[in-house]
């Protein structure tokens, strides 16, 4: 059974950093592209970032470019989202998603991902 599990959500103040982590079970992680999405209350889910299984390709939403960094450690089955200079508008439930095996590159479109975590809450206060 495939599982995607996020962790690291917290309540922080604007300007502070926070790192989210995500791991998977039941997947060949080193052949799985990963992505982060988020959904704020009353808003549609939006893409945040993705990283290919080769680590060669990363993409970021314009709203987080220069502040967020995605990375992965295939030896540990972990993907990370380092978030710096957080803003109140970053408040959302953050979801980690995993692609089918051997996706070429990665995509910020949710249809590219087959497995999803339950989400972790990030709250940024001003």
Q: How many CB atoms lie under 10 A from the CB of residue 9?
A: 17
C-alpha closest to that of 65 among 95, 108, 105: 108
pLDDT, residue 101, reads 86
Give 10-residue mean pLDDT values along the chain (126 residues). 97 98 94 96 96 91 98 95 98 97 90 97 97
pLDDT, residue 103, reads 83
| Contact (Cβ atoms closer than 8 angstroms) between residue 59 and residue 107 | yes
Residue 126 and residue 124: Cα distance in Å, rounded?
7
Tell me the CA distances in angstroms from 83 to 33, 59, 65, 118, one per residue in order: 20, 14, 10, 19
Residue 43 and residue 17: Cα distance in Å, rounded?
23
pLDDT, residue 54, reads 85
C-alpha closest to that of 110 among 23, 54, 36, 9: 36
pLDDT, residue 55, reads 79
pLDDT, residue 125, reads 97
């Amino acid at each position: 059974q495939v599982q995607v599990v996020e962790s690291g959500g917290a309540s922080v103040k604007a300007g502070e950093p926070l790192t989210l982590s995500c791991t998977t079970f039941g997947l060949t992680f080193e052949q799985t592209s990963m992505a982060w999405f988020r959904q704020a209350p009353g808003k549609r889910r939006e893409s945040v970032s993705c990283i290919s299984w080769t680590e060669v390709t990363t993409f970021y939403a314009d709203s987080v470019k220069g502040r967020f960094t995605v990375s992965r450690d295939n030896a540990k089955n972990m993907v990370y989202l380092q978030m710096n200079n957080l803003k109140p508008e970053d408040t959302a439930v953050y979801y980690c998603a995993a692609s089918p095996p051997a996706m070429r590159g990665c995509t910020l479109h949710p249809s590219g991902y087959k497995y999803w975590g339950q989400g972790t809450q990030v709250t940024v206060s001003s």
